[in-house]
C-alpha cells in the first residue's frame, strides 16, 4: 500500500510515517517510480504504535517491545506483563510528584522559598 493510502487509513500524516521509517518502526520498499510501498501488516502495526504511545510508552520502548512481542507465544500475557511494569513506573513517579508537591506547598508563602528546607548547621566553636 502506498504511503498516502496508509497515512489516510491509519489517521496519521505522511511525515509521521516517514519519521517512523527513519527510526525503524516501519519498513517500506521503493517502487520503480520512487513511491514507497508498505505491506498490509503495517496498518495494524501503526494502530498498535499509536495506542502504545497514548498509554505512555516511548517510541524506543515500542520498537524494543514490538520485536520481543513478535516472538512471544502468548502476546496478551506478554502485553499484560509490560503494562504491569508500566504501572509500577507510574506509581513510583506519582509518589515522587506527591513528595515534590508537599515540598512546594511547605515552601509556598515563606519569606524565601528557595532557601534550603533546614538552615545549615552552624559549626560549634
Res 108: pLDDT: 84
Convert the pLDDT of each residue in 92-123 to its tens digit.
999 999 999 999 888 888 877 677 666 556 76
3-state secondary structure of 71: coil
Task: Mark out the alpha helices in the chain (DSSP H runs).
Answer: 3-10, 14-22, 42-54, 59-70, 75-107
Q: Where on the phi/psi map is residue 124: left (φ > 0), alpha (ψ -120 to 50), or beta? A: beta
Region 5-11 average pLDDT: 96
The percentage of the chain sitting over the pLDDT mark of 70, rounded to a whole number, equals 91
Pairwise CA distance, residues 48 & 29, whole Å: 21
Mean pLDDT, the chain, rounded, equals 88
What does the alpha-carbon distance between residue 95 and residue 103 come to, in Å, rounded to a whole number?
12
Average pLDDT of the segment spanning 14-40? 93
pLDDT band at 79 (very low <50, low <70, confident <90, very high): confident
**Number of other CB atoms surrounding residue 36 within 10 Å:** 19
Whether the pLDDT of residue 10 is over 90: the answer is: yes
Amino acid at each position: 500500500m502506498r504511503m498516502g493510502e496508509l497515512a489516510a487509513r491509519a489517521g496519521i500524516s505522511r511525515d509521521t510515517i516517514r519519521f517512523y521509517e527513519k527510526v525503524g518502526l516501519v519498513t517500506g520498499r521503493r517502487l520503480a517510480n520512487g513511491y514507497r510501498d508498505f505491506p498490509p501488516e503495517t496498518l495494524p502495526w501503526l494502530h498498535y504504535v499509536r495506542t502504545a504511545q497514548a498509554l505512555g510508552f516511548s517510541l524506543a520502548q515500542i520498537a524494543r517491545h514490538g520485536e520481543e512481542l513478535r516472538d512471544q507465544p502468548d502476546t496478551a500475557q506478554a502485553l499484560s506483563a509490560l503494562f504491569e511494569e508500566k504501572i509500577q513506573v507510574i506509581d513510583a513517579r506519582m509518589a515522587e510528584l506527591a513528595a515534590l508537591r508537599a515540598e512546594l506547598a511547605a515552601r509556598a508563602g515563606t519569606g524565601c522559598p528557595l532557601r534550603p528546607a533546614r538552615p545549615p548547621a552552624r559549626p560549634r566553636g
